[in-house]
Amino acid sequence: MQAPQLLQHRSSAFHPCRSAAATIKLVLHRPRVAPRATQSAFVSHGALHLLSSAGWCASRSQKRCTNAQRHVPQAAATSGAAVADAAAPAPGWPGAKPVPLLISIAIGVALRFLVPIPSGITVQAWTLLSIFVSTITGLVLEPLPTGAWAFLSVTAAVFTKTLTFSQAFSAFCNDVIWLIVVSFFFAKGFEKTGLGERVATLFVKAFGKSTLGLAYGLAFAEGLIAPAMPSTTARAGGIFMPIMKSLSETSGSLPGTESANKLGKFLVQAQFQGSVHTSALFLTAAAQNLLCLKLATEMGVVIASPWVTWLKGAFAPALVGLLVTPFIMYKLCPPEIKNTPEAPAAAAERLQKMGPMSRDEKIMLGTMAFAVVLWVTGDAIGVSSVVAAMLGLSVLLVTGVLKWKDCLNYPPAWDTLFWFAVLVGMSGQLNSLGVIKYFADVVGGKLVAMNMGWPAVFGLLNVAYFLLHYMFASQTAHVGALYSAFLAMMLSAGVPGMLAALSLAYCSNLFGSVTHYGSGQGAVYYGAGYVSLKEIFSMGALMAVINLTIWGVVGAAWWKVLGFY
C-alpha cells in the first residue's frame, strides 16, 4: 500500500469510517457495558475495537474500513465478551449487580456493627468511616456506575444523619473540582477542533523514519498535549491508539496474530508504559493529580504555586522515564520492522489533506497557551488556577469554538464533578472528625518506634501505596481511598510535608500501567488486541520496578536539589 493510502481525510458525515472524535462521542454516549472509574473517561471494553479502528482508517473505500475492523482479534473479542458478561446484571434484573452490591454494603455494615469502635473515635466518625469503606468497595466492585454509586453513598450519609446536607455536598464548591471540570471542556475542544490529532501527526512526520523514532515521536506528542487534556483515557482512545493501529495495519501488523510482533505490540507497549510519565509530568495532565493536592491541603500540606511546583518536581524523573521507556520496550519486545520510511510521507499526506490550521484550531491553541501562562504566573498576579481555566473556557465559548451544548453533552465532565465531589467531601469530613489522624498516629507511632528513620518509612510507604493498586480498578478510587491515610502516616513519621504529598501524587500516576484494569488507558491499549493479558501483567510488573527505581533515585536526588527536604 502506498503511503498516501495510510491516512484518512477528515471525513464528512457520509464517510463509512467514523472520525476519532465522532467515535469517542459515540462511546461516551452509548450505554456502558462495563463502566470503569478512570482518570476521567469511561470506555466500555466492547467499544474499544470500534474506537481503535477509527480516525486514521484509509479513505479509499468502505471495503478498506470493513477489512480493518475484521482484523479485531478473536482473543480480544473473547476477552471483551468476558468483561461484558462479568459486568452484566443478573438475567432479568436491569438494576445494580446483586453480588457486588451485597458485598459492598455488607463490608460497611460489618465494620460499623461488628468491629469495636476504638477509643478516641466518635460514633459519628466510625459510621462515616463505614460508609466511606463501603463507597470505596463499590468503586472497585462496580455494582453501579461510579456516579450512581457515589449518589447512593452520599444519600446514606445524609439519611443516617451522619452528615448534614451541607456537609455532604460541601465539596461541590471546591475550586479544584471545578478546575477538573473545566479541564475536561478543554479536552473537548482539542477533540472537536482536531488540534490534538494535528499535533500527533506532526510528531509522526518529524520522528517516524524508524520504529524507535516513531515511538519517541508519539511519546513526546502526548507530553505536549497532556497539560490541556486531563485524561490519559481520552488521549489514548481519541488520538494515539487510532494512529498506532493504522500505522501497524498498513505495515501488515494485525492484532491477535503473530504479525502483531512486526510493529503493533511494540508501539502499544511503549505508549502505554510511557503514558504514566506524561500524566505525572503536569498537574493538569490527569484528574487524580488535582485530587491529590486537594487532599494534601486538607491534611495541612499547602503547596505554593502548585502548577509550577508540580512541574519542577516531576521534570527530571519524568524526562528520564520518557527517554528510557521506548528504548526499554524496543529491547524487551523488539519489533520485527525496524524502519518505517513510509510513516513520515503518510503523515505529510495526512497533514496536506487536513489543510492549514483552521480558525478554531488557532483559537484553541492560543487559548491553551494563554491558560498555561496564567497557570505558571497566576500566584504572582493573583489569578488562581481555576480562574485561569474559566477565562480560557470563556474565550472558547465567546468565539464559538465550543458551544454550551458541547459542554452539556460531555458526560465525563459532569460525572466526574459528582463522584469526585462526593469522595473529596467524605475524605474531608473524615479528616475533620479525626479518623485519619487516629490511624496515622497509631501506624506512624509503630513505625517510629522501630527506629527506621523517616527516609526508610518514606520509601516503604511509597512502595506499599504503589503495590496496593493491584486491588483497584481506578486510579482516582485508589487516591480517594488511600492517599490521605498514607500521607498522614508519612507526616507522623517525620517525612517533610511537600516531599510526602508530591511523591504519593506522582506514584498515583506511575501505577497506571501495571494492569489492564487499573486505568482507563490500560483498557484502551489492551482492548486494541496487540498485547496479551500475560504480556500486560509481566511487562507491567517489570516496568513497576524500573519506574519506582527511576523516580526513587533520580527523583530523590532532584528533590534534594529543589529543597523538598
Q: What is the pLDDT of residue 473?
A: 66
**Average pLDDT over every residue of 60-76:** 39
- pLDDT tens for 470-497 read 867 678 878 887 899 899 889 988 899 9
Answer with the residue of higher pLDDT: 26 or 555.
555
Strand partners, 339: 210
Lowest-confidence region among 53-62, 156-165, 303-312: 53-62
Q: Are 477 and 132 in contact (CB under 8 A)?
A: no
Q: Which residues contact 327 (CB under 8 A, 6 or more apart)?
A: 212
Q: What 3-state DSSP class applies to 339? A: strand
CA–CA distance from 419 to each of 127, 245, 385, 519 (Å)? 20, 33, 21, 17
The DSSP code for 114 is T
**Average pLDDT over every residue of 413-430:** 82
Q: What is the pLDDT of residue 136?
A: 80
Q: Are 454 and 265 in contact (CB under 8 A)?
A: no
The DSSP code for 210 is B
Q: Are 307 and 331 in contact (CB under 8 A)?
A: no
What is the pTM for the complete model shown? 0.63
- pLDDT tens for 338-355 read 888 888 888 888 889 889
What band does 500 get if pLDDT is binned at 50, 70 and 90?
very high
**Average pLDDT over every residue of 135-161:** 89
In this predicted structure, the answer to whether residue 99 has a pLDDT above a threshold of 70 is yes
Rounded (5°) CA angle 63-67-70: 140
Q: What is the pLDDT of residue 323?
A: 96
Q: What is the pLDDT of residue 238?
A: 65
User: Hey, what's the cell of 27?
Assistant: 462511546
Cα–Cα distance measured from residue 30 to residue 27, given in angstroms and rounded to the nearest whole number: 5
DSSP code string of 474-524: -HHHHIIIIIHHHHHHHHHTT--HHHHHHHHHHHHHHGGGSSSSSSHHHHH
DSSP code string of 131-194: HHHHHHHHHHH-SS-HHHHHHHHHHHHHHTTSS-HHHHTGGGG-HHHHHHHHHHHHHHHHHHHT
Exposure string of 115-128, with b = 16+ CB inside 10 Å and e = fewer, is eeeeeeeeeebbbb
Q: What is the pLDDT of residue 91?
A: 59
Which of 239, 277, 284, 286 has the alpha carbon at shortest distance from 40? 286
Which of 23, 79, 10 has the alpha carbon at shortest distance from 52? 23
- pLDDT tens for 527-547 read 788 998 889 889 999 999 999
Answer with the residue of higher pLDDT: 46 or 255.
255
Neighbours of 456 (CB within 10 A): 13
Q: What is the pLDDT of residue 324?
A: 96
What band does 205 get if pLDDT is binned at 50, 70 and 90?
confident
Answer with the residue of higher pLDDT: 435 or 105.
105
Neighbours of 453 (CB within 10 A): 12
CA–CA distance from 168 to each of 50, 154, 293, 294, 526 (Å)? 39, 6, 20, 17, 37
Which of 199, 186, 197 has the alpha carbon at shortest distance from 40? 186
- pLDDT tens for 4-18 read 333 333 333 333 333
Q: Considering the chain, what percentage of its residues have pLDDT values greater than 90?
A: 40
Q: What is the pLDDT of residue 122?
A: 93
Cα–Cα distance measured from residue 522 to residue 232, given in angstroms and rounded to the nearest whole number: 9
In this predicted structure, the answer to whether residue 57 has a pLDDT above a threshold of 50 is no
Exposure string of 63-95, with b = 16+ CB inside 10 Å and e = fewer, is ebbeebeebbbeebbebbeebeeebeeeeeeee
Which residue type, as a one-letter code, is found at position 87?
A: A
Cα–Cα distance measured from residue 312 to residue 314, given in angstroms and rounded to the nearest whole number: 6
Rounded (5°) CA angle 132-136-141: 145
| Mean confidence (pLDDT) of the chain | 80
**Rg of the chain, C-alpha, whole Å:** 23
Q: Considering the chain, what percentage of its residues have pLDDT values greater than 70?
A: 83
